Amino acid sequence: MKPVAIIGIGMTLEDLTARHLDIIDKADILVGGKRLLNLFEESRARKKIIGKDITGVVNFVKQEMKKKRVVVLASGDPMYFGIGRRLVNAVGAQHAVVYPNISSVAAAFGRIKEPWDDAGAISLHGRQNKNRLLKALEEENKIAVFTDPNNNPAWLAAYLMENQFLNYEMCVLEALGSDAERVSWHTLAEAAKLKFADPNMVILKRSSSGVKDKLPLFFGSPDSWYDHQKGLITKSEIRAIALSKLCLSTENILWDLGAGSGSISIEASLIIKKGKIVAVEKNPERVKHIKKNKKKFGIGNLKVIQSELPKGLEKLPPPDRIFIGGGGRGLKSIINTAGRFLKPQGVMVINTVLIPNVETARATLEKLDFNTEIIQVQINRSRQMPWAERLEALNPVWIITGIRKGECGMWQGETT
């Protein structure tokens, strides 16, 4: 059995090396999409077009490679949302040689001159991938989307607007690598009304423009409205509950410790109108996100500080309320230090997904003479399946509230 050669073409023929061309020249059978096969019209090899019947093509390759030199032509990198994975799994890794080239994603981000090591990627090529798309929109600031004639840029723009992912700009890259190549930026509303040449792909980039002018800020605003590091945001439903436990009032001073994206600080500003909000975060990238979100929503009484907790808390104005987002191994130290500065009748709320930190938080708060309440929140979100919806569970979160006597007495009589 002769190994099948799977060669990525890149953007143009100029991306092929002499070795690539020699392998293609010696092929008995060339397999590829019609557009790629047309690049080798003069080849004497037998041609097999990859159409909608991928299974049939894979079976053809498995059969013919027993006696023939089979070369499969793929766009860009065959192993990146390409046919390479399917072929290698079918024939066995020992019977395939893969020659990667410049991927469409690499070329696309090269065209707009932006890095893509922090970008997600989703393929909509004939797939029911709406769930993955929604998850990426919730978590990523940049997303490369492989479209198809049905799931095209206009459809994608309308889908984002329908699901309230309004703070994305869309770059459509048409016919990459050809003489007809076109790169254009659009708002979602613009893109939803336009037609684009095939093939194309899309880059979605979270906009720095203010969402506040498009939709009003509210408790539990969509995660996608915030600039944030992948997955590192207090989810919207949890955020709304945590804010309710803080028992905020208009003149409070709030410390948001381990602020992440700053979503708690941002939404706390809906109540804290005359007071101050301080967001403390050690990670410099997340600090940038907090500052972007502050600017995006126009929060004037929010101060952002980069610091590794619990250092520097003595320099901050004494708080009426403290929110701690996680805390990791240093949670006990953070609670002890922050608790010393909390005003009488103050409230401290701690969110954690780590089981040991539940008891650490409770025990530490009680030693500081707090009454405590612990709740566990499990959120399930609906996800679309091909013909119905299912529920997808998010990580369970524990919310531990510590309160000193005389404040927010709505549940004091039921504390543990």
Q: How many CB atoms lie within 10 A of CB 38?
A: 10
Q: How many CB atoms lie within 10 A of CB 294?
A: 21
User: Which two structure tokens, joined as six digits, stand for 187?
Assistant: 């708002």
Task: Give CA–CA dist 235/233, Å, rounded.
Answer: 6
Q: What is the mean pLDDT of residues 4-32?
A: 94
> For position 135, what pLDDT does the model report?
79
> For position 48, what pLDDT does the model report?
95
**Residue range 333-375, pLDDT digits in tens:** 999 999 999 998 899 999 999 999 999 999 999 999 999 999 9
Q: Confidence band (pLDDT; 50, 70, 90) for 208?
A: low
Tell me what percent of the residues of the chain surpass a pLDDT of 70. 94
Asked if residues 304 and 262 have their Cβ atoms less than 8 Å apart, the reply is: yes
**Residue range 82-116, pLDDT digits in tens:** 899 999 999 999 999 999 999 999 999 999 999 99
Q: How many CB atoms lie within 10 A of CB 210?
A: 12
Q: What is the mean pLDDT of residues 196-202?
A: 93
Residue 183: partners with Cβ closer than 8 Å, 6 or more residues away: 111, 112, 171, 172, 173, 174
Task: Determine which of 34-38, 181-185, 307-311, 412-416 has the lowest per-residue pLDDT on average.
Answer: 412-416
What domains does the chain contain, in order, with CATH numbers?
A: 4-102 (3.40.1010.10), 105-206 (3.30.950.10), 211-414 (3.40.50.150)
Task: Determine which of 49-63, 174-188, 202-216 has the lowest per-residue pLDDT on average.
Answer: 202-216
> For position 415, what pLDDT does the model report?
42
Instruction: Give 212's DSSP letter.
Output: G
Sign of CA dihedral 238, 243, 246, 247: negative
**DSSP string of 357-392?**
HHHHHHHHHHHTT-EEEEEEE--EEEEE-SSSEEEE
Task: Give CA–CA dist 101/9, Å, rounded.
Answer: 6
Residue 219: partners with Cβ closer than 8 Å, 6 or more residues away: 239, 240, 243, 244, 267, 270
Does the pLDDT of residue 412 top 50, yes or no?
A: no
> For position 126, what pLDDT does the model report?
63
**Residue range 218-268, pLDDT digits in tens:** 999 988 888 888 778 899 999 999 999 999 999 999 999 999 999 999 999
> For position 300, what pLDDT does the model report?
84
Asked if residues 4 and 98 have their Cβ atoms less than 8 Å apart, the reply is: no
**110, 119, 79: which is closest to 173 by C-alpha?**
110
Q: Where are the beta strands (DSSP E) in 66-176?
A: 70-74, 96-99, 120-123, 142-146, 168-174
Does the pLDDT of residue 17 top 90, yes or no?
A: yes
Q: Which residue has 């093939």 as its token pair?
A: 199
Amino acid letter, residue 66: K
SS3 (DSSP) at 255: strand
Residue ranges in 221-309 assigned as alpha helix (H)? 236-246, 263-268, 284-297
Q: Confidence band (pLDDT; 50, 70, 90) for 397?
A: very high
Q: Which residue has 């008891």 as its token pair?
A: 359
Q: Confidence band (pLDDT; 50, 70, 90) for 71?
A: very high
Residue ranges in 101-202 assigned as alpha helix (H)? 104-112, 130-139, 153-162, 188-191
